[in-house]
Amino acid sequence: MNRNILSIKGLSKHYGSKVALNQIDLEIPEGSIFGLLGPNGAGKTSLIRIINQITEADTGKVYFKGDELNSQHIGQIGYLPEERGLYKKVKVIHQLEYFGRLRGLSSSEARKRAGYWLDRLQLSHVRMQKIEELSKGMQQKIQFIVAIIHQPEFLILDEPFSGFDPVNAELITEIIKDLRKSGCTILFSTHRMESVEKLCDHLVMIHRSEKILDGKVSEIKNRYKSDSYIISTGDALAKDDPNYQILEESVNDAGFPSYKINSRTLSSKELIRLLNERTELISFTQYFPSIHEIFIQLAQPESTI
């Protein structure tokens, strides 16, 4: 059973009269990809800055591998900020060496690792170019290398796919998966809900400075399931049956009618029996909301799944 690489207890942060974080408790399992979600202004950036020891909490504690977070842990943490920060007039290889040495690597080891990651990210041809001469996407890749060059145990990625086309986003996705396989724990803050579903094992959602959702992705989706089902049938489904309501209808890849239906009066077994009496039932699946739908429901209470 994995232990927690990061534990947060009763964390609060104020900026004057504004509450950024209010009594946040959080545990991030070692070896996981952990999603950090929330609307703009929810408190995510404040939390990340405290973990990175950029700012201090007003109350509460952060523990890294069981020890209270301190300056000695900086070398074990990698950080890709949403606001990128590279020296525009410095050549790529010199910049990567510099940041590697700041993280405790020797000059030769920093150069070796820089070369590996430039090859992996298809940037070997720009190693002697200045940052300002590169495209935005290339600069994003260099910033990503800066975050991982020292092989951190814990990696914080704040909107890592910002500015990437689909091909490069997929490349970064594969690298993130490989980093997790190698033992790195990743805190992943993003507004791209499809990335959360694809990558994250656990997630937490912060809204108006409060933690409002926390758990495994699969458990959260199960928690928010409704009395809705996705079915396909051999014939068109009657629209006026009082036992169910048709929410959506389409045609599936095999050319059969497909529906999202809801029944508040029948169990799944009763509904299957009823549908088999009415038509040829080809498939019947419980509908689970996407993380995007859950996010919208919680961030905007007037919305419903």
Question: Is residue 286 within 8 Å of residue 229, measured between CB atoms?
Answer: yes
What is the rounded average pLDDT of the residues 18-22? 95
The predicted structure's pLDDT at residue 50:
96
Task: Give the pLDDT confidence of 120-154 residue by residue, as tens digits.
Answer: 999 999 999 999 999 999 999 999 999 999 999 99
- In order, the DSSP letters of 154-184 are EEEEESTTTT--HHHHHHHHHHHHHHHHTT-
Residue 303 has pLDDT above 70, yes or no: no
The predicted structure's pLDDT at residue 302:
47
The predicted structure's pLDDT at residue 30:
95
Supply the pTM of this predicted model.
0.85
Least confident of 11-15, 196-200, 206-210, 224-228: 224-228
What is the rounded average pLDDT of the residues 161-172? 90
Q: Return the SS3 of 287.
A: coil
The predicted structure's pLDDT at residue 301:
54
The predicted structure's pLDDT at residue 298:
86
What is the rounded average pLDDT of the residues 56-65? 96
The predicted structure's pLDDT at residue 304:
39
For 224-234, give one letter per residue: b (16+ CB within 10 A) or e.
beebbbbbbbe
Q: Return the SS3 of 60.
A: strand
Q: Which CATH architecture has domain 4-222?
A: 3-Layer(aba) Sandwich (3.40)
The predicted structure's pLDDT at residue 84:
74
2: confidence class by pLDDT, cuts 50, 70, 90: low
Max CA pair span of the chain: 74
Q: What is the percent of the chain with per-residue pLDDT over 70, rounded to a whole number?
A: 98
Q: What are phi and psi of 295, to 5 degrees?
A: -60, -50
Return the domain boundaries, the chain. Answer: 4-222, 226-287
Q: What is the percent of the chain with per-residue pLDDT over 90, rounded to a whole number?
A: 69
Question: In whole numbers, what is the pLDDT of the chain averaged over residues?
Answer: 91
